[in-house]
């Protein structure tokens, strides 16, 4: 019996060495990965919080309780509150159309959805300045009708929507494609209306991916700098979002306040990532969780 155990052990070792690198190489690779991440991600993260708390907790809290900072936070939340639901609705609609129907221009639609990921955000902002700016195509008409888009809230919302378009749709398309149409067809043959089918069959099947897409979309909407910077005009208390406010404070050598506001955005990122991990766990083993319920 002993010999068989030894033989099995040897067997295992032998297989191990065949399919993986030697332990030295493995350890080196893991160490390199950790070192890299520590240097480029963890240290800056710690730096943000240590700089923000340099003058103690009171200095940290004070950074938020001034008009400009509160206005920036309010504006960021407002922009996200408009852009995220719009992109969620558009993302579901686009993913549904792409995954479940055949139509002319489908490939073009997929490419268009991906475009914001390929285009630099600054360009995205510039597009809107070119369109709606004082010297832009529609500039005169807008000025005549007293509609302000550039250097105002609408411009910021538009630029944010542009850069966050892909997140929900891209999350849903592969899932909906793999799920196919049969369940929806079954619902229809059982007498469900289009809306009943969507609410009771389509939506429950995609809810976790949808939530994941919305979380990513929200993180990007709140954190967007480049596109918003071009269209905002940096008017304090009016068109400054949180990322822009951080830049202004930093340029004024107000490091503590800059890092304090930055830490708020960082916290948002951490919450987003935690939510993502939770959702991933849920989607990875739906059956196990369901049976536990």
Partner 1 sequence: MSIQVEHVTKRFGTFTVLDDVTLRVEAGELVALLGPSGCGKTTLLRILAGLERPDQGRIFLHGAEVTDQRITERRVGFVFQHYALFRHMTVAENVAFGLTVQPRAQRPSATRIQEKVRELLTLVQLQAMADRYPSQLSGGQRQRVALARALAVEPKLLLLDEPFGALDAKVRKELRRWLRRLHDELHITGILVTHDQEEALEAADRVVVMHQGHVEQIGTPDDVYEHPASPFVYQFLGDVNVFHGRTVQERTLADIPPLPEVDSVVSADVMDEHEVTFVRPHDLEVNRSRTNPSQLEATVRYVLTAGSRVRLELTAEDSGQTIEVELTKERYRELNLREGEVVFVHPRHRQVFKIPQS
Per CB under 8 A, residues contacting partner 1 are 182-183, 185-193, 196, 200-201, 204-205, 286-287, 290-291
Choice between 67 and 287, CB closer to partner 1: 287
User: Which of the 8 DSSP states describes residue 158?
Assistant: H
Least distance in angstroms from the C-beta of 95 to partner 1: 18
Choice between 26 and 181, CB closer to partner 1: 181
Task: Decide: 231 and 134 in contact? Cβ < 8 Å.
Answer: no
Least distance in angstroms from the C-beta of 13 to partner 1: 37
Q: How many H helices and E strands in the chain? A: 16, 0
Choice between 129 and 175, CB closer to partner 1: 175
Choice between 48 and 210, CB closer to partner 1: 210
Least distance in angstroms from the C-beta of 205 to partner 1: 6
Task: Decide: 163 and 124 in contact? Cβ < 8 Å.
Answer: yes
Choice between 161 and 201, CB closer to partner 1: 201
Structure token digits, residue 169: 């749709």
Least distance in angstroms from the C-beta of 194 to partner 1: 10
Contacts 24+ apart (CB under 8 A), 5-12: none
Tell me how many degrees the CA angle 158-226-155 measures, rounded to the nearest 5.
25
Structure token digits, residue 238: 């009016």
Least distance in angstroms from the C-beta of 98 to partner 1: 20
The number of beta carbons lying within 10 Å of the beta carbon of residue 23 is 10
């Amino acid at each position: 019996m002993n010999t068989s155990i030894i033989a099995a052990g040897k067997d295992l070792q032998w297989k191990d060495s065949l399919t993986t690198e030697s332990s030295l190489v493995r350890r080196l690779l893991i160490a390199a990965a950790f070192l890299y991440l520590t240097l480029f991600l963890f240290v800056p993260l710690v730096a943000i919080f240590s700089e923000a708390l340099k003058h103690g907790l009171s200095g940290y809290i004070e950074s938020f309780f001034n008009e400009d900072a509160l206005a920036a936070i309010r504006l960021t939340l407002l922009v996200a509150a408009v852009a995220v639901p719009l992109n969620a609705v558009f993302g579901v609609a686009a993913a549904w159309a792409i995954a479940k129907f055949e139509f002319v221009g489908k490939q073009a639609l997929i490419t268009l959805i991906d475009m914001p990921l390929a285009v630099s955000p600054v360009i995205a902002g510039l597009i809107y300045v070119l369109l709606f700016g004082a010297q832009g195509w529609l500039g005169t008409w807008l000025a005549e009708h007293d509609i302000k888009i550039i250097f105002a809230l609408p411009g910021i919302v538009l630029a944010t929507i542009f850069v966050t378009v892909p997140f929900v749709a891209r999350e849903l398309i592969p899932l909906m494609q793999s799920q196919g149409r049969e369940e929806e067809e079954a619902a229809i043959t059982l007498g469900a209306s289009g809306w009943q089918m969507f609410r009771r069959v389509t939506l429950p099947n995609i809810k976790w991916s949808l939530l994941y897409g919305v979380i990513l979309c929200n993180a990007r909407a709140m954190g967007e700098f480049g596109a918003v910077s071009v269209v905002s005009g940096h008017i304090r208390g009016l068109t400054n979002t949180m990322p822009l406010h951080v830049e202004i404070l930093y340029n004024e050598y107000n490091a503590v306040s800059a890092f304090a506001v930055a830490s708020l955005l960082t916290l948002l990122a951490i919450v987003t990532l935690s939510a993502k991990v939770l959702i991933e766990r849920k989607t990875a083993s739906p059956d196990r969780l369901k049976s536990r319920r």
